A and B are shown apart, each in its own frame.
Chain A
């Protein structure tokens, strides 16, 4: 299998500004591998280290030790991000730009030639159904529309790997369905999708493999049905793996 995303013994410590001592260990030697063409779900409770892992993969946070690579290139090099698309959990885009201008800006950074960029902009705007609002300033968009702009910018370079950080959080059911459809479509196009989510039902439906992380440690990784085992749902399996003990009702 060709590993598109790989981390080895990845450790991230956040230091206290005054004492310069490790105040929090976010990742404890994480070993992860995502192969080409698969939809990979990255699960964990809040504060487990999901976003930190994504931040390391995108070069936002420097690992304390260990390595992370995309397409075999160390994430420290900007070129490693040439073939990826990224949708953050919550983002506001430049309010003084229109969706079209924003996408043109990002396509310049990817080095897309003019006609190719225009073709891609038309394509992604059609995909996220923002064609009619393409010349409106982003500050006039609703939250759902802004999330769709986010998705459009993540797809502008026709990425081979899409990293989505809780892509459906805050969206209405229609919006969620739309995102799910897009992920399915990318999967059929042979793209790799790596996404973190709390929507376990959604993960169960669309993911080939999942990894469960808890307190910075990888607790389980494998195909969805393997992780589920004999349990009724992925949610049940998840709760078991992170060691959730239900409180007896009085």
Chain B
């Protein structure tokens, strides 16, 4: 665990010393503030459209941070040959993978914390109430979704040589799941065999990231979800993340690093 945390610590340092997060955070704040300043029939309490935009930007930013940060981890270590002195230490390859995952996940969690704090402040400024537990549920689910995305990207970074191609493929997969993952079975029904069977199988195999997207619930102030459903969904996400991580460890186990 000590080694994993040491690796994770370096990844976190890397994220907060790079400019990516700050740029995305500032852009999100600026866009939201500009949108919030629009005069809608002299009614200063209208907020849901700003909440909607803010959450969209938070999701996009978090996916950009998670995928780009993770995609470059192992390839950059190989390219800059920092992997050699690192693996020459008593650090197993699995520990390195798990450490990288943990670092990216914690770093994304910290970024999410900043984003959601801004979101909370923005909505509280007009709604005059702060449903902290709802935001906590949404943030937690968002973070679990990022665990799956990060693990998937980490696996991709060991399969695809170039970080850019890996990042693009991961964006397409994650975006595809978020947009149509829930309806793949409906899409399958309109197809002929064997595509119908294939799409139907994909529907059951993919991680359903849309479970973790609670934007509509917090935009429209829906009541809290029962915590047992949050727990079950988190377990579901953790299981997928663990599966992708295990696959990544397996791929990296016998891979030549020189």
Enumerate chain A interface residues (CB-CB to B < 8 A): 51, 55, 58-62, 78-82, 84, 86-88, 90-94, 96-97, 101, 105-106, 108-111, 150, 153-154, 157, 163
By a CB distance below 8 angstroms, the chain A residues around B90 are 78-82, 109-111
> Which of A55, A93, A96, A105 interacts with B9 by CB under 8 Å?
A105
| B88 within 8 Å of A (CB atoms) | yes
By a CB distance below 8 angstroms, the chain B residues around A101 are 13
Provide a sorted-by-A list of 23 A–B residue pairs whose CB atoms are within 8 angstroms: A55-B258, A60-B84, A60-B88, A60-B258, A61-B256, A61-B258, A78-B90, A79-B90, A81-B88, A81-B89, A84-B88, A86-B84, A86-B85, A94-B10, A96-B17, A97-B13, A108-B9, A109-B2, A110-B90, A111-B90, A150-B85, A153-B85, A157-B89
**Knowing that A62-B256, A153-B85 are A-B contacts, what are 17 other residue pairs whose CB atoms are under 8 Å apart, sorted by A's residue number?**
A58-B84, A58-B87, A60-B258, A61-B258, A78-B95, A86-B84, A86-B85, A88-B81, A93-B82, A94-B10, A106-B85, A108-B3, A109-B3, A109-B89, A111-B2, A111-B90, A163-B88
Cβ of B165 to closest chain A Cβ, rounded Å: 17
Give the number of residues in B that approach A within 8 Å (Cβ atoms): 27
Q: Considering the complex of A and B, which 9 residue pairs feature the smallest CB-CB distances, nearest first?
A: A86-B88, A108-B6, A96-B17, A82-B90, A78-B92, A92-B80, A88-B84, A109-B89, A78-B90
Cβ of B15 to closest chain A Cβ, rounded Å: 9
| B129 within 8 Å of A (CB atoms) | no
| B257 within 8 Å of A (CB atoms) | yes
Q: Which of A79, A91, A101 has the most CB of B within 10 A?
A: A91
Per the 8 Å Cβ criterion, residues 163-215 of B in contact with A are: none
Contact (Cβ within 8 A) B254 A62 = yes
By a CB distance below 8 angstroms, the chain A residues around B9 are 105, 108
Give CA–CA (A92, B84) in the complex, Å.
10
| B18 within 8 Å of A (CB atoms) | yes
By a CB distance below 8 angstroms, the chain A residues around B14 are 94, 96
